[in-house]
Amino acid sequence: MFKGIKKSLTTRVAPTGEHLAGLRGILRSRLGLFKNNRSTAQQHELTEDFIRVLAAWGIDDPEEIPGVIRVLRLRYLVFILPIFVCGITAAVMQHFIAYLTLAFISTPCLLGILTTSWRVSVLANRRFSPFWRWLLHMPFQIFS
Region 19-42: mean pLDDT is 70
Note whether 19 and 78 are same-domain residues: no
CA 46 to centroid of chain Cα atoms? 20
Task: Give residue-wise pLDDT tens across range 31-87.
Answer: 676 666 666 666 666 666 788 888 888 888 888 889 999 999 999 999 999 999 999
| pLDDT of 137 above 90 | no
Residues 76 and 128 in one domain: yes
The structural domain count of the chain equals 2
Domain span at 68: 47-143
Instruction: Please provide the size of the chain in residues.
Output: 144
- Mean pLDDT calculated for residue range 136-142: 71
| pLDDT, position 46 | 65
8 A C-beta contact, residue 59 and residue 65: yes
Q: Is residue 42 part of a domain?
A: no
Report pLDDT for 134.
Answer: 87
If asked whether residues 55 and 22 sit together in one domain, one would say no
pTM: 0.65
Top pLDDT among 13 and 129 is at 129
Same domain membership, residue 96 and residue 78: yes
